[in-house]
């Protein structure tokens, strides 16, 4: 693709291998659910909409988060964003699996999906926690099931991620 600089690949910080677990807020801080409830709670009370189990669970948990837990969650987010901003600049990307395993087969039971949920959130919540863009590319198949590769960039690096995804889709390097 013309106009694209060559890609330079290097290993990131030594602690990057453990970063995804450190980027998931502690259980019970509930910042996302509390903020979702603050935004949509009145509408939910007025309209009583039907939600999927996981969505309803998030709103319900958010409804019960107290101010101290919310403050702890927000402090966690600020600290992680500050930490990652030290090594993730606008020309650096992090590649990680979109999920720790291929997509589940069609028809997977709700209970099995629920058991996979927390493991999946470990990787899919990284960009939301950091306030950064992330794009997922259908990169491979494992036993006939799709597996994705996520590319995460610094705040404001959306264009770089789209450029990389387009390059990948065109079979470029």
Measured in degrees and rounded to the nearest 5, phi and psi for residue 62 equal: -60, -35
Name which of 52, 11, 19 is nearest 129 in CA terms. 19
Query: What is the chain's mean pLDDT, rounded?
Result: 79
Tell me: pLDDT of 8 over 60.
Answer: no
Residue 152's CB is within 10 A of a number of other CB atoms, namely 22
The pTM of this model reads 0.67
Q: What is the mean pLDDT of residues 84-89?
A: 84
Q: How far apart are the first and last CA of the chain?
A: 9
- Per DSSP, 17 falls in state G
pLDDT tens digit sequence for 142-162: 888 888 999 999 999 999 999
- What pLDDT is recorded for position 70? 83
- Tell me how far apart the alpha carbons of residues 128 and 123 are, in angstroms, rounded to a whole number: 10
- What pLDDT is recorded for position 64? 87
Q: Where are the domains of the chain?
A: 14-30+65-169
């Amino acid at each position: 693709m013309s106009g694209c600089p060559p890609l330079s690949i290097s290993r990131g910080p030594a602690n990057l291998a453990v970063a995804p677990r450190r980027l998931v807020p502690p259980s019970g801080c509930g910042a996302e659910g509390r903020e979702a409830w603050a935004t949509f709670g009145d509408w939910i009370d007025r309209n009583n909409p039907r939600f999927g189990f996981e969505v309803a669970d998030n709103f319900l948990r958010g409804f019960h988060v107290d101010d101290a837990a919310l403050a702890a969650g927000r402090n966690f987010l600020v600290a992680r964003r500050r930490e990652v901003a030290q090594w993730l600049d606008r020309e650096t990307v992090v590649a990680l699996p979109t999920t720790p395993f291929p997509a589940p087969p069609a028809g997977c039971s709700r209970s099995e999906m629920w058991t996979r949920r927390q493991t999946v959130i470990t990787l899919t919540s990284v960009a939301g926690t950091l306030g950064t863009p992330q794009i997922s590319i259908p990169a491979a198949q494992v036993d006939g099931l799709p597996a994705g590769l996520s590319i995460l960039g610094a705040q404001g690096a959306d264009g770089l991620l789209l450029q990389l995804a387009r390059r990948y889709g065109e079979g470029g390097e």
